[in-house]
Amino acid sequence: MRIIGGKYRGKKLFSPTQEGVRPTSDRAREALFSALYSRFGGFADLSVIDIFAGTGALGLEALSRGAKEAVLIDKDTALAAKNAALFPDFKQKLEVLRADACHLPKARKTYNLVFCDAPYAKGFTDQALTELAEKGWLQKGALCLAEVRKDEVLTPPAGFEKTQERIYGLAKVVFLIFDKKIIDI
């Protein structure tokens, strides 16, 4: 597992050793970041949440490509913190937050790009996205990329609109836009 592009292209990351942890593949990350670049024209204006962060690879990839800040959120942040320590110059713009994605604290700031890679088929994706919205973590118009198993149906929670889906091997990434005005916060 490595950083695919940007300033730290090729830098190796620590990989999970426990069974059941399945980081987003390099191929899928490369395709996703290519799509994001096409959409935004760069990463400098992006504030990123990597929820169910695991290794933190998605948030760290975004920072390597120039995102202005990122927060890595997981119940077990050991691996994300270990990988974050590989990038000392990210210290001022990277936070590793140990928290349950389905029971988040109130946000201190808002973000406009979310990577959500919850355990498959457990209903955590809906819960986490709803929690992010209700606790004030998302800017209006935030783009949320939710990875689910390719045969899983993700019904967007209130306040989110599905814009597209992409299949990468066994995974499907659902692109959702958050619209604060259609939910009662």
72-112: pLDDT as tens digits: 999 999 999 999 999 999 999 999 999 999 999 999 999 99
Contacts of 182 (CB under 8 A, 6+ apart): 158, 159
Is residue 5 included in any domain, yes or no?
Answer: no
The structural domain count of the chain equals 1
- Confidence label for 184 from pLDDT (cuts 50, 70 and 90): very low
Is residue 171 included in any domain, yes or no?
Answer: yes
pLDDT at site 185: 44
What tokens does 35 get? 């799509």
Q: Which of 63, 47, 52 lies closest to 16 in space, CA to CA?
A: 52
Residues 4-20 have a mean pLDDT of 87
pLDDT at site 28: 84
Is residue 109 included in any domain, yes or no?
Answer: yes
Is residue 176 included in any domain, yes or no?
Answer: yes
Domain with 93 in it: what CATH number? 3.40.50.150
Is residue 30 included in any domain, yes or no?
Answer: yes
What radius of gyration do the chain's Cα atoms show? Answer: 15
Residues 38-65 have a mean pLDDT of 96
Indicate the average pLDDT of the chain: 92
Residues 110-117 have a mean pLDDT of 97
Specify whether the CB–CB gap between 113 and 47 falls below 8 A: yes
Is residue 86 included in any domain, yes or no?
Answer: yes
Q: Please tell me the distance from the alpha carbon of residue 32 to that of residue 40, in angstroms, as a whole number.
A: 12
Is residue 71 included in any domain, yes or no?
Answer: yes
Domain hosting 32: range is 26-182
Is residue 21 included in any domain, yes or no?
Answer: no
Q: Please tell me the distance from the alpha carbon of residue 35 to that of residue 121, in angstroms, as a whole number.
A: 25
What tokens does 67 get? 């995102």
Residue entry with tokens 């604060």:
180
